[in-house]
Amino acid sequence: MPDDETVVQTAAEAAEGVVFSRYRQSDVRDLDVTVTFEDGVLEVDVYLNAPDEDADPETVADEAARAAQDAVDDLFDDTDDDAA
């Protein structure tokens, strides 16, 4: 089972990866990815302030949060596979 720090780091990296796959870093005015993992519960909140010319920032933030959750699911799946 991955430790809490690994879970948080994995989720944050996945969320940032989605944002920066849609926007150039210089176009992002503000990005706040908050990840907590306590008692087996993952919470991800993504705030994004970026121009809406190429993509809707709210949609991208939602996709980033989902990607973070998926990355953590994959992390646990990989750990379960290794333990088997």
- The number of folded domains in the chain is 1
3-state secondary structure the chain: CCCHHHHHHHHHHHHHHHHHHHCCHHHCCEEEEEEEEECCEEEEEEEEECCCCCCCHHHHHHHHHHHHHHHHHHHHHHHHHHHC
Residues 55, 5: contact at Cβ < 8 Å? no
Tell me the pLDDT of the chain (84 aa) as tens digits: 899 999 999 999 999 999 999 999 999 999 999 999 999 999 999 999 999 888 999 999 999 999 999 999 999 998 776 665
Res 83: pLDDT: 63
Tell me what pLDDT residue 17 has.
Answer: 98
Residue 41 belongs to domain spanning: 4-83
pLDDT of residue 84: 57
**What pLDDT score does 39 carry?**
92
CATH number at residue 79: 3.30.300.100
